[in-house]
């Protein structure tokens, strides 16, 4: 297992320092018990809907491994957009309050899911023809905050991270070439923990050898200087339930008119 510190959400500077050092940080206290229970119920409902529609062998991330896709139109995900325990850390990471929300989703694995290859969730968008500058030379362009919906253990498919790879120019190793210590770099943490991650940091799911589903919901934010365009997927009915801050964050994903 990977030895990590779960930082209380009030310790903003500590959380941000670890994030910039490692490319991710585990934070506690961002969800109230009521918010966690609400999120868990929503995840359970959507998982039942998706797995009924799509069998395990057709799952979109490999056998028994699914991405939630955009779920911001559900209130259980919309509540994640403007959590008071989340936003101050995100603002400190970006060094500005003018970042934007690009959506909410997450993933889950069911019993029988195999280990997932290490990967980053972003490719080099600079494409310098001389190779002098890559997107690893830049501050965090895209931040995802994942919320653990169950206790993550070494058996139930917990996510693994390779620290400090968000700025690495080395190629991500294949699953066959991955050293054993990377396979064991598993984040075990209790339900409700928030994992802030620079999406460039290498990560991957592990085998779910348990008897339970391992869900992880998420919300994503773009740096003030970065925007790659997103589908407008947030209905006005949900948008209007957000705080003024949440509405400003979602200004690029709210649908222009309700159908």
pLDDT of 13 > 80? The answer is: yes
Mean pLDDT confidence for 38-57: 98
Mean pLDDT confidence for 57-84: 97
pLDDT of 258 > 80? The answer is: no
pLDDT of 28 > 80? The answer is: yes
Report the pLDDT value the prediction gives residue 226, as an integer from 0 to 100.
96
Q: Where are the beta strands (DSSP E) in the chain?
A: 6-8, 24-28, 65-67, 100-109, 142-148, 159-161, 194-198, 203-205, 214-222
| Spatial contact of 65 and 174, defined as CB atoms under 8 Å apart | no
d(CA 137, CA 167): 7
Q: What is the pLDDT of residues 137-184, one digit of tens each?
A: 999 999 999 999 999 999 999 999 999 999 999 999 999 999 999 999
The yes or no reply on domain 6-249 and CATH 2.60.120.620 is yes
The β-bridge partners of 16 are: none
Neighbours of 19 (CB within 10 A): 25
| Domain assignments of the chain as residue spans, ordered by start | 6-249
DSSP state of 126: S
Q: What confidence category does residue 228 fall into, taking pLDDT thresholds of 50, 70 and 90?
A: confident
Residue 46's alpha-carbon distances to 10, 116, 159, 187, 195, in angstroms, are 31, 22, 20, 24, 21
Report the pLDDT value the prediction gives residue 227, as an integer from 0 to 100.
87
| Spatial contact of 34 and 28, defined as CB atoms under 8 Å apart | no
Q: What confidence category does residue 8 fall into, taking pLDDT thresholds of 50, 70 and 90?
A: very high
Q: What is the pLDDT of residues 173-190, one digit of tens each?
A: 999 999 999 999 999 999
d(CA 184, CA 202): 13
What percent of the chain is predicted at pLDDT more than 90?
95
Residues across the chain: 259
Q: What is the pLDDT of residues 96-133, one digit of tens each?
A: 999 999 999 999 999 999 999 999 999 999 999 998 99
pLDDT of 49 > 80? The answer is: yes
d(CA 173, CA 183): 11
Q: What confidence category does residue 229 fall into, taking pLDDT thresholds of 50, 70 and 90?
A: confident
Report the pLDDT value the prediction gives residue 57, as an integer from 0 to 100.
97
pLDDT of 259 > 70? The answer is: no
- Work out the mean pLDDT of the chain and round it to a whole number: 96
d(CA 9, CA 128): 38
């Amino acid at each position: 297992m990977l030895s990590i510190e779960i930082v209380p959400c009030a310790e903003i500077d500590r959380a941000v320092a670890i994030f910039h050092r490692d490319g991710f940080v585990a934070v506690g206290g961002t969800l109230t018990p009521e918010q966690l229970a609400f999120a868990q119920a929503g995840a359970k409902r959507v998982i039942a809907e998706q797995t009924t529609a799509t069998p395990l062998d057709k799952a979109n991330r490999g056998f028994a491994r699914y991405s939630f896709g955009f779920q911001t139109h559900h209130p259980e995900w919309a509540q994640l957009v403007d959590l008071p325990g989340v936003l101050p850390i995100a603002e400190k990471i970006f060094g500005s309050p003018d970042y934007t929300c690009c959506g909410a989703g997450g993933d889950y694995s069911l019993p029988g899911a195999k280990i997932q290859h290490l990967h980053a969730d972003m490719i080099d968008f600079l494409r310098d023809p001389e190779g002098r500058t890559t997107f690893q030379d830049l501050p965090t362009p895209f931040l995802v905050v994942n919320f653990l919906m169950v206790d993550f253990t070494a058996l139930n498919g917990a996510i693994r991270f390779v620290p400090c790879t968000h700025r690495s120019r080395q190629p991500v190793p294949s699953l066959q070439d991955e050293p054993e210590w990377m396979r064991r770099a598993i984040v075990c943490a209790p339900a409700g923990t928030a994992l802030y991650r620079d999406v460039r940091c290498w990560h991957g799911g592990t085998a779910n050898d348990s008897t339970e589903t391992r869900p992880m919901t998420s919300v994503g934010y773009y740096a003030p200087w970065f925007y790659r365009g997103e589908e407008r997927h947030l209905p006005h009915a949900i948008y209007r339930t957000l705080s003024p801050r949440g509405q400003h964050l979602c200004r690029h994903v709210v649908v222009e008119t309700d159908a």
